[in-house]
């Protein structure tokens, strides 16, 4: 079953000129993306900084309201829901943030932080909530929760904080979790522990996760499917191993070829790409990657590429690919 399905999702931000003057220019942070995630699966959303991947994750949990498009959660469109109706849906979705130092209120104890979603949603009595918090802490591997309940964030290590953040996300038993670079600020040995925890929780609780990352190796480790974003668009989406071993889009190929490999005896072939990522302020027609693409043709600069089906679940948005 498709738990979350996104169609033609767009988010434009106005470019601010001054206090009084309204701008007519827009940053096309997310510009018409489509994807869906099956229940219990993990979609990796990968790309370089500024590609819009974080905006997508914020749209999915409705921290932002999309400019256009649909977000179906269990078949119901939440793209423009407001107030009480939206609050009802918030029980089903949660978010895990990048910065474990910023995502916990420094004045809240672990208990306050983890119990907050329950309090906001008015679930349970104080005693029931305390039990739920203890259970959530236990699930995320903070054994003997009573030791942690009344600590403040500054008394925890980075790994412990991220576990508390995950416990908070899970305490209301959501169906869907958007994780925005949840391990990129953690140290190596702790990073793996948190990733393994998320995989284990997915299996145990049948969670559906959108895992946003800039690290393709982490995306591969975590995801069932990977979508590659470039300047607000998804250029390629495929099952993980298919995308890693058989990339079709020139950008995906270049991106994969630039990932360093932890083995000095292996030499990788680098694909050099010219120029740098521009800003998506009112971008012209045509493929966004055209100015940097090694295989660019005249058509690429005029016409937006459509998704071409490589195989059943492998889509690529590139003119040079013919199925």
Partner 1 sequence: MGIIEIENLKIYYKTVKGYVKAVENVSFNIEKGETMGLVGESGCGKTTIGMSIMRLLPRNAKIIGGKIIFEGEDLIKKREEEMEKIRWKEISMIFQAAMNALNPVYKIENQILEAIYAHENISKKEAVERVSRLYSLVGIDPRRAKEYPHEYSGGMKQRAVIAMALACNPKFIIADEPTTALDVMVQDQIISEIKEIQKKLQMTMMYISHDISVIAETCKRIGVMYAGGIVEYADAIPLFKKPLHPYTKALMNSFPSIKGEKKKLTPVPGEPPNLLNPPSGCRFHPRCSKAKSLCRKKAPKFVEYQHRHFVACHYVG
Partner 2 sequence: MKIIRGKSKTWDLFIKSTLGKVGLGLLITFAIMAVLSPIWIARNPQIYDPLTGKDPNVFGSIPPTMAHPLGTDQLGRDLLSQLLKGSQIAFLVGISVGVFSTSIGTLIGLISGYYRGKIEIVLMRLTDIVMTLPLLPLLIVISGIFGRKDIRMIVLVLSLAGWTLAARVIRSQTLTLKERPYIESARVSGASNMRIIFKHIAPNILPLTFLYMTIGVTYAILTEAGLGFLGLSDPTISSWGMMLQWCFMSGYTFKALYWMIPPGLCISALALSFYLVGYAMEEIVNPRLRER
Residue from the set 18, 106, 122, 262 that interacts with partner 1 by CB under 8 A: 262
- 83 vs 226: CA distance, rounded Å: 33
CA atoms within 13 A on the CB side of 136: 27
Q: Which does 266 bind (CB under 5 to 8 A by kind): partner 1, partner 2, none?
A: partner 1
Strand locations in 186-280, DSSP E?
208-213, 225-230, 233-239
With contacts defined by CB under 8 A, name the span among 112-120, 199-207, 270-278, 280-288 that binds partner 2.
112-120
Q: How far is the CB of 71 from partner 1 (least distance, A)?
A: 28
> Helix (H, G, I), strand (E, B), or coil: what is residue 209?
strand
Q: Is 244 in the site for partner 1 (CB under 8 A)?
A: yes
Residue from the set 6, 79, 103, 240 that interacts with partner 2 by CB under 8 A: 103
Q: Is 194 in the site for partner 2 (CB under 8 A)?
A: no
Residue from the set 75, 84, 265, 284 that interacts with partner 1 by CB under 8 A: 265
Q: For the chain, what is the radius of gyration of the CA atoms?
A: 21
Could you give the string, one character per residue 142-171, with x where binding to partner 1 holds by CB under 8 A and - elsewhere? ---------------x-x------------
Residues 6+ apart with CB under 8 A from 249: 228, 235, 236, 289, 316, 317, 318, 321
CA atoms within 13 A on the CB side of 89: 21
Q: Which is nearer to partner 1, 83 or 262 (CB)?
A: 262
94-125 burial string, b = 16+ CB within 10 Å, else e? bbbbbbbeebbeeebbbbbbbbbbbeeeebee
Q: How far is the CB of 105 from partner 2 (least distance, A)?
A: 4
Footprint of partner 2 (CB under 8 A) = 19, 58, 61, 63, 86-87, 90-91, 93-95, 97-99, 102-109, 113, 116-117, 120-121, 146-147, 149-152, 154-155, 165, 168, 172
């Amino acid at each position: 079953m498709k738990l979350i399905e996104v169609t033609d999702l767009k988010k434009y931000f106005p470019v601010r000129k001054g206090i009084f003057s309204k701008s007519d220019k827009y940053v096309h942070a997310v510009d018409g993306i489509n994807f869906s995630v099956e229940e219990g699966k993990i979609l990796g959303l990968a790309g370089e900084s500024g590609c819009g991947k974080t905006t997508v994750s914020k749209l999915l949990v409705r921290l932002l309201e999309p400019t256009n498009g649909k977000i179906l959660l269990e078949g119901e469109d939440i793209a423009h829901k407001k107030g009480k109706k939206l609050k009802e849906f918030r029980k089903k979705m949660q978010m895990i943030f990048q910065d474990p130092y910023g995502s916990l209120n420094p004045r809240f104890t672990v208990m306050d932080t983890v119990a907050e979603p329950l309090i906001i949603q008015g679930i349970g009595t104080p005693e029931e909530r305390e039990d739920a918090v203890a259970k959530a802490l236990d699930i995320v591997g903070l054994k003997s929760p009573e030791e942690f309940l009344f600590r403040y964030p500054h008394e925890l290590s980075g790994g412990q904080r991220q576990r508390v953040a995950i416990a908070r996300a899970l305490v209301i038993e959501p169906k869907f979790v958007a994780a925005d670079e949840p391990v990129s600020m953690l140290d190596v040995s702790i990073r793996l522990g948190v990733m393994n925890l998320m995989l284990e929780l997915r299996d145990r609780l049948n969670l559906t996760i959108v895992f946003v990352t800039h690290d393709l190796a982490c995306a591969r480790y975590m995801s069932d499917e990977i979508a590659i974003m470039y300047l607000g668009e998804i250029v390629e989406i495929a099952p993980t191993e298919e995308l890693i071993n058989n990339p079709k889009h020139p950008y995906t190929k270049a991106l994969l070829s630039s990932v360093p490999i932890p083995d000095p005896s292996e030499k990788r072939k680098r694909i050099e790409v010219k120029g740098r990522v521009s800003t998506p302020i009112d971008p012209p027609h045509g493929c966004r990657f055209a100015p940097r693409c090694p295989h660019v043709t005249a058509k690429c600069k005029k016409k937006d590429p459509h998704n071409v089906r490589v195989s059943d679940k492998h889509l690529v948005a590139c003119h040079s690919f013919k199925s």
